[in-house]
Chain A
Amino acid sequence: MNADTVNCAAGAAQRPVEKKRSKIPVKYRQRNRFIPMFLAGVAALSVLSLAYLDIDWLKMTSRAGDIGVVFWDLAHLDFTNMDLILSSLVETVSIAVLSLLYSLILGIIFGMLAARNVFRLPWLSVLTQSFFTFLRAVPTPVWVLLMLVCLGMGPEAGVAGLCVHTTAFFTKSFAQSFESIPEETIEALEVTGASRLSIFMNAVLPAALSQIVAWAGMRLEVNFSECAILGMVGAGGVGYVISNSLQGYDYGTAGVAILLVFLVAYCIERVFVRIKKKFY
């Protein structure tokens, strides 16, 4: 190996004319083969999608100006319906918080079953993982619509629908966090004769807590904005106000609501950045 390198260097020195040599590869070779294939696949798929959708570029460009007009209208904030907006916003936040809380508890339980290193039962983790993969594959609005059919209009359906998807999400992410706990740490508790469940509660869960807090913060943000959309299908909250006022060309009210949604989402993010730092 070393001798080869020396020979190579000597060879290069002897042929100063051939200075433009190909670049020296630094990555390992297998990956280099995969990337061009992936890029080619992406390119082919994008061409196919464009052809299939048959987008009317002319119409799109001619209407582009309207985007500006709508945003201009939204910027003329109208605070007359403030009480309605605020109460619906509180409702949205409550739905988001409640669904997060229930899903946290369910997610920890199912995440524990799905993690391969907690009970060491491969069939249990595979079963749990695949069940929740199925739940996750169906998007939240569909679950909320289903719950609207089951539970009727209102925030209950919003909470239940959000819970399904959030629990499925938490199960996967928590299971990953649990599995990232070093095997040696679990081994150290195994040798004390502790049961699998008490190893989980006393070592795995505390060690994964900071990651759980991070996931919860991220998910609260997502749930809050999902909630704003869900209002439009009748699950209550600020989304209902936004969709109603947009349909009634009441852009001022919609503008205020959208702005508040943005502000609350931003605050949630900042608060959780703070909390996460405490957990480091």
Chain B
Amino acid sequence: MEPLLRFENVSKHYPNGVHALKGVSFEMAEGEFISVIGPSGSGKSTLLRAINRLIPISGGTVWLDGQAVSAQRGAALRQLRRKVGMIFQNYNLVYSLSVLQNVLHGRLGYMGGVKGVFGRYSEEDKQEALDLLKELGLEEFSYNRSSDLSGGQKQRVGIARTIMQRPKLLLCDEPIASLDPSSAKTIMDLLKTMTRKRNIACIVNLHQLDVALKYSTRIIGLSKGEIVFDGRPEELDDATIEQIYGTSRKNLMIGGERNDQKNSAHCA
């Protein structure tokens, strides 16, 4: 079967000389939950943004659902992007709009012409959005301004928006880096259950090694733009961690405790 996502020798040079990705290749099947780990500047964000062409790559090919992403332009690219949802560290909602409006933004890619431009959503879409908010425990905030929500709630709205898109693949760019430990756990649990329930493959960029170990079915370790580890969480040994982060595992745990989950100090 054709894999959902395939990176073929992908590289990226930025105009400022930074070589963010160096010949990265991997495949991803449906239903996988991959965590991408690595220190700041290792190319995690670039890798994620290469998938939906938010960042155009300089070499190689990204295959998404059988189509080469870099070959797409205009309407075809927009159609391809609909299949890929994205969650951001800073939620990136339109804060002057209601929670429901933000959730409905996920449908914009499916609405052509005047309807999309003026945001005339169908009743079915509205009902689906309300049901989704209920599922995420945000029912009573549906008609609040998005700016009134807490960080964890904003991220839940972000999840709802992306689920509305009915994606095949979900990209999460450090989804819990701005959250407190308890909200971070809620968000990770939601990501896991929502994607499993809807059979959405998921790639998460993480700074927290312990979270990556707990939630993912597979971990990709990036260091200086190259994949240095690709395997199941159990296979990740201390030597590899040292290779990824350039320091021993002991130094990565600020609290010292190995199972000190979601130590938010890691975000820095």
Contacts and interface: CB of A to CB of B under 8 A. Distances in A.
Contact of B94 (A192, A195, A206): A206
Interface in A51-92: none
Interface string B87-104: 010101111110001000
Contact of A192 (B82, B88, B96, B101): B82
A75 to B, nearest CB: 47
Contacts, number: 84
Given A192-B165, A193-B78, A198 B108 contact: yes
A203 interface: yes
B106 A192 contact: yes
Contact of B78 (A185, A187, A188, A194): A194
Contacts of A203: 94, 105
Sort chain A's interface into a size bin: 20 to 34
A191 B85 CA distance: 7
Contacts of A193: 78-82, 108-110, 165
Nearest to B106: A192
A188 B108 contact: no
Nearest to B83: A193
Interface in B126-177: 158, 161-162, 165
A97 interface: no
A191 B94 contact: no
Contact of A185 (B79, B80, B92, B107): B92
Closest 10 CB pairs of A and B: A193-B109, A194-B108, A193-B82, A188-B92, A198-B116, A193-B81, A193-B78, A191-B86, A184-B92, A192-B109
Interface of A: 182, 184-185, 187-195, 197-199, 201-203, 206-207, 209-210
Given A192-B109, A198-B116, A209-B96, 13 more contacts: A182-B92, A185-B92, A188-B86, A188-B93, A188-B158, A191-B54, A193-B110, A193-B165, A194-B108, A195-B117, A199-B108, A201-B118, A202-B105
